[in-house]
Amino acid sequence: MSVSNFLCKALLSVTLSVALLPGAITTVMAQEEHPYAKDFDVKANFRNICGFCHQSYGRQEGKGPQLMNNTKTDEELFNRIKNGKPGRMAAFGVAFSDDKIWAIVKFIRSLKADVEPENPS
């Protein structure tokens, strides 16, 4: 395992551990009861969690692939975010509801090379 892979996995583990602290669990559970909550900031979540591996909001390749103009179907992107890919990407199905994962897919689909990303409407 390369040092960069090790660091990426370590950071993802720490990020998920922090996200699941007791106070955060209460917040996540409250949002689960209201899946259409307006307070889910896709752009900020992507920047803070996904941006470690997917540079420039996924518009450039980093430790992970470029996501802008990805040829995978929406369902394939959804499943990759939810279930991860062993040895390559953590599963975020425990951190995000299905509605939030679909919002992330919509965000990825809206990415343009020279346009600042915005939260999906």
Copy the structure tokens of residue 90.
Answer: 């953590």
User: How far from 67 is each of 13, 72, 73, 93, CA to CA, in Å?
Assistant: 22, 9, 12, 19
Helices (H) and strands (E) in the chain, counts: 6, 0
**12-54 confidence digits (pLDDT tens):** 454 444 444 444 443 344 344 435 445 789 999 999 999 999 9
Contacts of residue 90, defined as CB under 8 A and 6 or more positions apart, other chains included, come to: 9, 12, 13, 16, 84
CATH of domain 3-109: 1.10.760.10
Query: Hey, where are the domains in the chain?
Result: 3-109
Which pLDDT belongs to residue 120? 84
CB atoms within 10 A of CB 28: 16
**62-97 confidence digits (pLDDT tens):** 999 999 999 999 999 999 999 999 999 999 999 999
pTM of the predicted structure, to 2 decimals: 0.68
Average pLDDT of the residues in 89-115: 94
